[in-house]
Amino acid sequence: MKTVQKIVAACVFAAATLTAPLAMAHAKLTASNPTPGAVLEVAPAEISLTFNEKVEQAFSTVTLTYTDGKVVETEKAKVDAANPAIVRIQTKGLTTGTYTVKWAVAGHDGHRRTGTFSFSVK
């Protein structure tokens, strides 16, 4: 009977060890330019978001809104070909005010993650 218990315990341990990385495999924002809360003298020409893992182009979106909630027209968010953990959007004609960046991405595990942050232009 002790042999069966040892086998079951070994199987449980192996399953926990193999599935633990999957539980932590969600894409997480690790850096951005501009940074959350930044107050900029000059409007950025680009917003870049860096994640802890590669993200999928088909499931990556970034929306930029102005202080009044109006969506700012930008090009579609693009995953960087040289580093697929970075998503970029080009911005044009941003004026003085506060902007909110809303992002949604999916990593290789397929789980969609979302977040927001704001920055201001003087």
- What is the reported pLDDT for 21? 45
- What is the reported pLDDT for 5? 56
Rg of the Cα atoms in the chain? 20
Pairing mode, strands 97-106 and 112-121? antiparallel
- What is the reported pLDDT for 4? 52
What is the spatial distance between Cα 27 and Cα 104, in angstroms, rounded to a whole number? 10
Domain boundaries, the chain: 26-121
CATH of domain 26-121: 2.60.40.1220
Low-confidence ranges of the chain (pLDDT < 50): 8-23
Task: Report the predicted TM-score, pTM, of the whole model to 2 decimal places.
Answer: 0.79
